[in-house]
Amino acid sequence: MSMQTLRTTSGAGWVGQLAEAGRARATRAVFIAVGVAVAYYVGARIGFALTAAPTPVSTLWPPNAILLAALLLSPPRWWAGILLAAFPAHLAVELGSGVPLSMVLSWFVSNSAEALIGAVGVRRFTDRPTQLDSFRQVGVFVVFAAMLAPFLSSFLDAAFVQWNGWGTDSYWQVWSARFFSNVLTILTLVPAIVTWAARDLESLPSVSPRRVLEATALAGGLLLVCTVVFSQPGLAARESPALLYAPLPFLLWAAVRFGPGGASAALLVFSLLSTWGAIHGRGPFVSRSTSDNVLSLQLFLIVTYIPLLALAAAIRERAQAMSDARRTGEWLNLALGAAQVGAWDWDLLEGSRTWSENMPVLFGLRRDENGKIERSSVLETIVPDDRPIVQAAVTQAVEHAKPYEVEFRTARPDGTVRWMLSKGTVVRDQAGRPRRMLGVSTDITARKDAEAALRSESALRESEARLRVLADAMPQIVFTAKPDGTVDYINRKWHELTGSPPGDVSPDTWLAAIHPNDRAAGTESWLASVQAGRPYENEARIWSAGAGTYRWHLARALPVRDESGAIIHWYGTATDIDDHKRGEQALRESEWNLRVLRSELETHVAKRTMELSRANSTLRQEVEVRRRVEQALRSSEERFSKAFRASLDAISIVSQPDSRILELNDRWEAMFGYSREHAIGRTIDHLNIYANERDREAIADLMRTRGYVHEYELDMRHRTSTPLRAVLAAETVEVAGEPCVIIMVRDITERQRAEREIAVQRSELAHLGRVALLGELSGALAHELNQPLAAILANARAAQRMLARENLDVPEFQAILEDIVSDDRRAGAVIQRVRALIKKDETELHKVSPNDVVADVLELAHSDLIQRAVVVSTRLAPSLPEVQGDRVQLQQVLLNLIVNACDAMVDNPPSLRTLVITTSERGGAVRISISDSGTGITTQPIDAVFQPFVTSKRHGLGLGLAICRSIVDAHGGRLWAVNHRGSGATFHVLLPGATTAPVMAPDVAQAAAIPPV
Amino acid sequence: MLEDIPTIAVIDDDDSLRRALARLLTASGYQVKTFASATEFLAERLPMEASPGCLLIDVRMPGLSGLELQAVLNNAGAQSAIVFMTGHGDVQTGVKAMKSGAVDFLLKPFTDDELLEAVGRALLRNAETRVEHREIDELEHRAAKLTRREKEVCTLVVAGKLNKQIAAALGTSEKTVKVHRSRVMAKMEAASLAELVRIVERLNRSHTVANSNRPPQPETRREHADPPDDERRRVGGTAG
């Protein structure tokens, strides 16, 4: 404030700078006082210079204006000081020009009064320092400072002049001269001082050179024009109007381009020059008397001043308003941008829209080639589903005056969808018609996302809770796992079973409940399933706390996937399969035992077979030797005797007439236990080597009738009565002209024993085969047996209930009893059949009907065939010869072939599981054929399928067909197989008729038996 | 009345057992129909209302097996409850039967108590199923009365939307929505919003169950078919 004051008093800013350097308040006050005094004094001198004599009033009286400006620029508490400082200057000026003291004092009073009135009026009606940069300030200034103050003070001044008797003019002349003079002075000087005092000198150097150039041009032009106009001597009055307006363009230029400061400066120059011209009788205002000239000049200047000042203020005000508006806009955009809020303004009548700068970014609006936002793109950014909602909201707001508030989604050009919230209000004109709609939009995607997340999370939690209640109610173990396989839930059943604390699903706890031997494999296969995302299945033992043992469980788990196929969760169950598992194990163990038994048996059979073949080869050797001996006998007695002695058969030569023993060999001695000396000379009868008299007689008979005996098998005995089985051959020969009989005996006791043993083994093996077969059929047989048992039980219970009633339905009751009896028989028959098969009998040969055997076997297999969905058809020849054989073993063969056929068809669809059993006669023999539509025989050659341990079954031993073949062989028959050309195979069993010879010519028989397919 | 006596169908290929069961069940106060095979039973083509409450089926039969018959019936949406019988049960078959919705799995020979208990349970289940179906039918009948707009409003109301939101979503006024809403409540005979939600949820659930209740096809014979989870299925203990 003090700075401004100082500047004002000096009229230039450099004094202000000095004052600033002075700092101290007192110093500043002194400076101000001195400044005001100096300015007052200088101003007064100028005023005197511009006073047109003889008027006591100056045309332009600066001191008053300077005093007013000083008061306007300083706070009221300074005013007294300022007036005091001006007083000496006033005295000095006025007294120096010879004015009486009373007049001098009077003028000071009137001048001070004027300054005070103006300053008080302006201060009262403006609220900020006077800058004259607004219309209001100019108005207040003109009314109070420029008009009212001179108007009032001039009354005082004129009165003082009259009172002192100064001058010659009348009261009103003085009043009007002073009024106009002071109005002009105030208008001329105060604006210039006030505006320039506010100017900061420091900012001047930063003014652009162009501006300086313009100001210079303006000043030069104005000076030139004013000089030309106002210094022209004796200008004709009639020419003046045109010239008078020549400076106006420059004044307007200053007002428009340089504001109040420029305008006031230009006006100052203009008025000084015009006044100077008018006083010195030059320029357009020189016409009549000087006072008239001055008055018209003053009026002219006053009239020019006020509009120009107003114009400059208006222009400055507008510029200020524009810059304010610009700054407000910038702030708004800044605020909107920071808050992510877009604002918009929609002119409903014209349809034009205005958006805040960030709206295009918020909405992802398109711009056309001119950079303007395309109007249509606003609606397009809204997701099509939400457009009706937005439009409905707009309609509601415009037509029904509802507040506009709508949430909708927008699709960005990059494809992302954002949630927006728009709020707005409709602006209406006085008639209530909607004119504009104003509003803001903001991105609420984050809030929406959070809400959605919250909602889905709670829904998930709820459904999970429901699932858990359900899972806890289940009798099985139920568990769930995260996509990485971490178990995150196991139901109550688990905790009840294992005794682990409820809710504890940590891997350590649940792994501890699994059998140590199953942990690694279980974990491994679980992880493999999790990794591959395929269903998990595993068997493991789980600790049962209640039972105190581990129980087998079957665990299964399935992945649940989301739309993209990614696994969300695993759901699994574990079911107790312990009973089932133990059953399986028991079965495996029994199978194993059977296998061991069989293999032992097989070894035994092989050993015996070897022994037998060794015996055979020995026999062959012996035959050869004997042949040679005979040859030798015929050729040479010497060779005969050697051979005779060396023979492995017991040889004796008996005289035919009296049966006395003539000669015998070493082997004979050993075989019968008699020494040579003891035997020779005695008869055979005497030695009693025949076990049965019958044989002796038969041999004698044969010798008598035919003269020889070949291969006669008989029982003989050692001297010690040890029985011998032997083969005897006898021939009549002539030795030294005497008819003799040469008898050869071969001990076959050992061989026969081996043969018998083999037969026993074979029958045992067949029995084992039957047992195994029954094992395979056990399920079906149980069913077969349970069927009648169930019927009996139900019937019996029904009968009991009937008995409990009053009137008994006797026929029905009888029917029940009959059913019970027949079911009992049915069950008995099943048991009989099974018992027959399972019985360990010696082979018994009977006459058997092949068709009966087929029927037996189908009864046994009935249930099994149903279960395997195999359809059986039979083509049985009506009149077949009977065969000689063991019924049970033949059943076994057929049953085995049927089971094999079913196994071969297990992978066929049910409609293609057909089994055909055919019986037919083939030249006195009977052929039974079993055809299937299965996989056929894969062994090469086909016949290899009958070798032991050749099997295509998973659990088979490969003994079944080998046993079948040995059975059929033992029956003197043949068993062979052929593959069908399509699928399947046929097994043929050819058995000799009971009345015919064994089928000994396999080649011929086979040729006749092979089916044409 | 004759109609009130529950009918039990016995399907077994064994003549004697069939007769015996018929006698026992008749003596126990049931009506009995017997069939020698699945085909014979299917040829009867009983209407849904007259279908027996309980089917007593032998697992092992020539032609269609018991389990295959069950699959056919499940596919046809039959409501009859099934009790299986078998002369020789294995766990796998039992589990399969129970998983496909059988009430029990009886091992022959079984006592009359076992049989009657299972049959009783089956009839109870069947009755529940029928009641459930009748109720669902009734609810569906109510729902069918809704107009298209009312259905939309109903869906949104059940989804927990406010009238204001529904109005915005359907582009109508809140007042109209209120009218629709009250009509929905009236037609659905719901006294409160909670009841409406319960009704709609029940309808939805019955549709879901109906759509997902497809047992594996009999031809495929998959061992580890994954039937949809259904709380009614359980792995029974009797087969063990």
Instruction: For residues A555 and B121, give the distance between their C-alpha atoms in angstroms, rounded to a whole number.
Output: 29
Q: For the residues of chain B, what is the DSSP string, one character each?
A: -GGGSPEEEEE-S-HHHHHHHHHHHHHTT-EEEEESSHHHHHHH---TTTS-SEEEEES--SSS-HHHHHHHHHHTT---EEEEEESS--HHHHHHHHHTT-SEEEESS--HHHHHHHHHHHHHHHHHHHHHHHHHHHHHHHHHTS-HHHHHHHHHHHTT--HHHHHHHHTS-HHHHHHHHHHHHHHTT-SSHHHHHHHHHHHHHHHHHHHH--PPPTTT--TT--PPP-TT----STT-
**pLDDT value, residue B56:** 93
The pLDDT value given to residue A24:
55
> What's the pLDDT score for residue A57?
59
- Best of A793, A824, A907 to substitute, by most chain B Cβ atoms within 10 angstroms, is A793
For the beta carbon of residue A330, count every other beta carbon within 10 angstroms. Answer: 11
- Identify the pLDDT of residue A102: 83
SS3 track for A777-788? HHHHHHHHHHHH
Rounded Cα gap, residues A70 and A75, in angstroms: 9
**Three-state SS at A273:** helix
CA-nearest residue to B25 within chain A is A798
Q: How far is A369 from chain B (nearest CA, A)?
A: 36
Q: Is the pLDDT of residue A139 over 90?
A: no
B113 touches chain A (CB under 8 A): no
Q: Could B112 and A819 be called an inter-chain contact, meaning their C-beta atoms sit closer than 8 Å?
A: no
Across the interface, of A575, A786, A819, the residue whose CB is closest to B19 is A819
Among A406, A575, A795, the residue with its CB nearest the CB of B235 is: A575
Q: Which of B8, B15, B21, B24 to mutate to test the interface with A (most CBs of A within 10 A)?
A: B24
Please name the residue that has the structure tokens 């009064």. A113
DSSP state of A841: P
H helix intervals, A11-100: 14-22, 25-49, 62-73, 76-96
Contact indicator for A961, A937 with CB cutoff of 8 Å: no
Cα separation of B225 and A31, whole Å? 110
- The chain A residue lying nearest B86, using CA atoms, is A783
B14 to chain A: which residues are within 8 Å by CB?
787, 791
**Which of A389, A575, A790 is opposite residue B108, by nearest beta carbon?**
A790
Q: Nearest-CA distance from B134 to chain A in Å?
A: 25
The model's confidence at residue A927, banded by pLDDT at 50, 70 and 90, is very high
Residue A828 predicted with pLDDT over 80: yes
Spatial CB neighbours of A317, under 8 Å, sequence gap ≥ 6 = A133, A134, A135
Chain B residues inside the 8 Å CB shell of A405? none
The verdict on a CB contact (< 8 Å) between A816 and B111 is no
Q: Name the residue with higher pLDDT: A117 or A1010.
A: A117
The answer to whether residue B240 neighbours chain A at the CB level (below 8 Å) is: yes
Is B87's CB within 8 Å of A785's CB? yes
Report the SS3 class of residue A736.
coil
Tell me if A767 sits within 8 A of A617, measured CB to CB.
Answer: no
Give CA–CA dist A866/A240, Å, rounded. Answer: 142
CA dist list (Å): A104 to A2, A24, A115, A173, A903: 29, 34, 16, 19, 150
**Minimal CA separation from A790 to chain B, in Å:** 4
Judged by a CB distance cut-off of 8 A, whether residue B222 touches chain A is: no
For A782, which residue in chain B has the nearest alpha carbon? B88
Q: Which residue did the predictor score with more confidence, A893 or A432?
A: A893
In terms of pLDDT, which residue wins out, A617 or A594? A617
Stated as kind and residue range, the H or E segment containing A104 is: helix A101-125
Contact status of B88 with chain A (Cβ, < 8 Å):
yes
Query: Taking CB atoms and an 8 Å cutoff, what residues of chain B touch A872?
Result: none
Q: Which of B108, B231, B235 sits opposite A787 (nearest CB)?
A: B108
Asked whether A974 and A926 are in contact (CB, 8 A), the reply is: no
| pLDDT of A137 above 50 | yes
- The per-type count for chain A, helices as H runs and strands as E runs, is 32, 22
pLDDT tens-place string over residues A640-657: 566 677 777 888 888 888
Tokens of A468: 């858990």
Confidence (pLDDT) at A981: 87
Of B14, B20, B109, the CB nearest to A798: B20
Nearest CB to A789; choose among B90, B109, B234:
B109
Q: Does B24 contact chain A (CB < 8 Å)?
A: yes
Chain A contact set for B177 (CB, 8 A): none
Contact A580 B234 (CB under 8 A): no
Matching residue, tokens 């120009």:
A308
pLDDT at A149 over 90: no
Q: Does B162 touch chain A (CB under 8 A)?
A: no
Q: Is-contact A302 A258, C-beta < 8 A?
A: no
pLDDT level of residue A917 (50, 70, 90 thresholds): very high
Q: Which two tokens mark B77?
A: 């949406």
For tokens 């099934």, the residue is B82
B39 interfaces chain A, CB cutoff of 8 Å: no
3-class DSSP assignment, residue A366 = coil
What is the Cα–Cα distance from A227 to A286, expressed in whole angstroms? 15
Distance, in Å, from the CA atom of B116 to the CA atom of A908, rounded to the nearest integer, reads 39
CB nearest to B234's CB, from A406, A475, A577: A475
Q: Is the pLDDT of residue A1010 over 60?
A: no
| CA angle (A495 as vertex; A490, A500 as ends), nearest 5 | 110
Per residue in A505-539, pLDDT (tens digit) is: 888 888 888 888 888 888 888 888 888 888 888 88
- Write out chain B residues lying below 8 Å of A792, CB-based: 20, 109
Q: Which of chain B's residues have a Cβ under 8 Å away from the Cβ of A816?
A: 20, 23
CA A451/CA A445 separation, integer angstroms: 10
Write out chain B residues lying below 8 Å of A867, CB-based. Answer: 60
What integer pLDDT is reported at residue A375 of this predicted model? Answer: 62
Taking only the tens place, the pLDDT of each residue in A237-258 is 445 566 777 888 888 888 888 8
Question: Which residues in chain B are closer than 8 Å to A389, comparing Cβ atoms?
Answer: 168-169, 171
A395-418 pLDDT tens trace? 888 888 888 888 888 887 777 888
For residue B111, give how far its alpha carbon lies from the nearest alpha carbon of chain A (Å). 7
Which of A788, A797, A802 has its CB closest to that of B16? A788
- The structure tokens listed for A833 are 């059949």
Instruction: Give CA separation, B171 vs A411, A972, B72, in Å.
Output: 21, 98, 48
Distance CA A373, CA A359 (A): 10
Element (H, E) at A743: strand A738-747
Q: Tokens for A230?
A: 């106002």
Digit-coded pLDDT (tens) for A419-468: 888 888 888 888 888 888 888 888 888 888 888 888 877 877 777 777 77
Mapped onto helix, strand or coil, the DSSP state of residue A708 is strand
Contact A381, A363 (CB under 8 A): yes
Please state the φ and ψ torsions of residue A788, each to the nearest 5 degrees: -65, -35
Contact between residue A98 and residue A56 where contact means Cβ atoms under 8 Å apart: no
Segment-wise mean pLDDT, segments of 10 residues, chain B, 240 residues: 74 91 91 90 72 86 88 84 85 86 88 91 88 84 86 87 88 88 87 86 71 44 44 37
User: Is there a contact between A156 and A178 (Cβ–Cβ < 8 Å)?
Assistant: no
- Contact criterion met (CB < 8 Å) for A822 and B16: yes
A-chain residues near B171 (CB < 8 A): 388-389, 392
Q: Which residue of B has its CA nearest to A470?
A: B231
Chain A CB contacts of B64 under 8 Å are none
Q: What is the radius of gyration, based on Cα positions, of chain B? A: 23
Contacts of B27 in chain A (CB under 8 A): 798, 801-802
**Nearest chain B residue (CA) to A571:** B229
Contact B23 A812 (CB under 8 A): yes
Q: What is the tens place of the pLDDT at every residue in A755-786?
A: 888 777 777 877 888 888 888 788 888 888 88
Nearest to B226 among A406, A558, A869 (CB): A558
Contact assignment for B91 to A580 by CB distance below 8 Å? yes
Structure tokens at B32: 């009995």
Tally of CB atoms within 10 A around A207: 10
What gap in Å lies between CA A93 and CA A96, rounded to an integer?
5
Rounded to 5 degrees, what are φ and ψ at A1004?
-65, -45
| Residue B145 at interface with chain A, using a CB cutoff of 8 Å | no
Handedness of CA A488, A489, A494, A500 (dihedral sign): positive
For A236, the enclosing helix (H) or strand (E) is none
Of A474, A580, A794, the CB nearest to B112: A794
